[in-house]
Amino acid sequence: MKKTSVSIMYDDEKLNAIRLYMSQRDLDFKEELEKSVDSLYAKYVPANVREFIDMKGSQVKTPKSKKPKPQEENTEVVT
């Protein structure tokens, strides 16, 4: 599935404090933020829509190879 980035404005001191105390617990800020976004997704996106997106994402796209058709040989007998 294609990934996109999200950018928000947040107080610098608060963000530094979050990172400091998370690092003391061996937690990764990015991973925890992704978990939070996943939680929002599960909370607000209806189950049938999530299932559809999962189904769409799990389909293996197999590109059709465009093989040139073999040219028929001219078997006509000229006399």
Assessment of whether the complete model's pTM goes beyond 0.85: no
Asked if 6 contacts 37 with a C-beta cutoff of 8 angstroms, the reply is yes
| CA gap 30, 3 in Å, rounded | 14
Reported as a single tens digit per residue, the pLDDT across 23-57 is 999 999 999 999 999 999 999 999 999 999 999 98
Q: What is the pLDDT of residue 57?
A: 87
Overall size of the chain counted in residues? 79
The pLDDT > 70 percentage for the chain reads 75
SS3 29: helix
Reported as a single tens digit per residue, the pLDDT across 13-24 is 999 999 999 999
Amino acid identity of residue 16, one-letter, is N
Q: Is the per-residue pLDDT at 65 higher than 90?
A: no
| CA gap 76, 69 in Å, rounded | 20
| CA gap 12, 23 in Å, rounded | 16
Q: What is the pLDDT of residue 71?
A: 66
